[in-house]
Amino acid sequence: MKTRVLIIVSLVLTATLLAVPSQTSAGGFPAVTETRILGHSVQGRPIRAWRLGDPNASRKAVIVSTMHGNEDDTYLILNELRGGDPIRGIDVWVVPKYNPDGYARRSRKNARGVDLNRNYPHGWRDLDGNYESGPRAISEPETRAMMRFLDEIKPRYLISFHQPLHGVDLDTKSNYLARKLIWHLKLPGKRFTCGGVCHGTMTSWYNYKHPGNAITVEYGQSPSRWHLTRRAPDQLLKVLTARR
């Protein structure tokens, strides 16, 4: 008899725990509805993504920072969104530190010396030096992890934050998205030619393969912490027609 009571009590407890909504169970962050490890870097560091906002919203966005490990200031914007109030109006994933090995070494490249933003398959070329593109397209685990993720999510908007060129890339698929970014983030529109070596980039691959719009946004060399944590997060939500 005692055993039967115990079983019933534990069943009720389990049902109660399962009934707790995911919005309050994701590490105490009310904006977070899901966390995920997209894959691992060359040195085995996890590449983490956090899902914020409304998982049922039809519009989806992915926002990536620190693809180049020494361009990491903008992760503060994504950290701030993750730690803030629930976001409404969009289903948005943030990847604050896409290149964790580069970040750990303060390097543009990953641990094998590859520029991840030259390792994607669309227009890949064998580049050396500062833009080392790897032995072949998709040679790096970080590239494979992000491609898998983006192929699954298929966001309408993919925003990739870099530094220090201070501007929104006008050489892109959606003038509408570029104009919204210029307006709300208060950054100038620019054409980033990459010195003629814009081959195998993440945004060009995504724009080619998927109907959604991928765009590069560059902040300056040293944007202030105050701006990145107090102004930029809500400016970015306005770009996405979302609020919190």
Binding interface with Zn ion (CB under 5 A):
68, 71, 162
Find out whether 164 and 220 touch, Cβ atoms under 8 Å: yes
C-beta of 91 vs 132, nearer to Zn ion: 132
C-beta of 79 vs 163, nearer to Zn ion: 163
How far is Cα 225 from Cα 135, in angstroms, rounded to an integer?
A: 37
Minimal distance, residue 71 CB to Zn ion, in Å: 5
- Residue 122: Cβ within 10 Å count: 16
Six token digits for residue 71: 């361009």
Q: Given the DSSP bridges, would you call strands 46-53 and 91-95 parallel, antiparallel or unpaired?
A: antiparallel
- Beta-carbon contacts of residue 237 (< 8 Å; ≥ 6 apart): 81, 87, 243, 244
Backbone angles phi, psi at 157, to 5 degrees: -125, 130
Minimal distance, residue 222 CB to Zn ion, in Å: 15
For Zn ion, which residue has the nearest CB?
162
C-beta of 87 vs 181, nearer to Zn ion: 181
Helical packing angle, 232-239 and 175-185, nearest 10°:
150
Minimal distance, residue 162 CB to Zn ion, in Å: 3
Minimal distance, residue 16 CB to Zn ion, in Å: 47
C-beta of 91 vs 218, nearer to Zn ion: 218
Minimal distance, residue 218 CB to Zn ion, in Å: 7
C-beta of 165 vs 240, nearer to Zn ion: 165
For residue 100, is the peptide bond before it cis, meaning its omega torsion is within 30 degrees of 0? no
